[in-house]
Amino acid sequence: MDGMVHVYTGNGKGKTTSAIGLAVRAAGAGLNVYIGQFAKGRKYSELNSLERLDNIDIEQFGRKKFIKNSADKLDIKKAEKGYEKIKNILNSNSYDLVILDEANIAVYFDLFTVDQLIDLIEDRNKKIEVVLTGRMADRKIIEYADLVTEMKEIKHYYNDGITARKGIEN
């Protein structure tokens, strides 16, 4: 059976963590997992744990600081490098599950176009399961995907002035 295309989007918590959880589940079933993170270059705490699991590989294609208003040349260059790398991975037989973390954000900030993202996924080895995360998923991606979950913020303590904490938010 062909692999499915999942999207986790919305303004709520749990998009990247659920992709990480899925990676951990898949690895536990003996599947090989690749995680490519767009627009992120910071060493999040989960990387320390994931490095200890043999069949999960993770690479980052962004800068330490998250893009604020608009991307610059370096942001785009890093994303392009990721795009080419992931194209090879999606055309190989090396992985069963490929997670494109913040792919929606990459499109939102014009690091590449939504059509380029769909081409990337569409031209893959179809056995591969693909997961895309990030807020502001483009309508074309929602239409293209097999499974879409919106993480909807109902209540959030950031709203009360509490800032991100190590091991919980990052």
Interacting residue ranges for a second copy, rule: CB under 8 A: 1, 4, 6, 8, 10, 12-22, 24-31, 44-50, 52-53, 96-97, 129, 142, 145-157, 160, 162, 165-168, 170
**Distances in whole angstroms, Cα of residue 97 to Cα of each of 6, 67, 169:** 11, 27, 24
Nearest residue (CB) to a second copy, 75 versus 101: 101
Nearest residue (CB) to a second copy, 114 versus 145: 145
Nearest residue (CB) to a second copy, 29 versus 64: 29
Q: How far is the CB of 16 from a second copy (least distance, A)?
A: 7
Number of residues assigned to the chain: 170
Q: Is 163:156 a contact under the CB 8 Å cutoff?
A: no
Q: How far is the CB of 77 from a second copy (least distance, A)?
A: 28
Q: How far is the CB of 80 from a second copy (least distance, A)?
A: 28
Residue with tokens 């309508």: 139
Backbone angles phi, psi at 100, to 5 degrees: -110, 85
Q: Is 31:55 a contact under the CB 8 Å cutoff?
A: yes
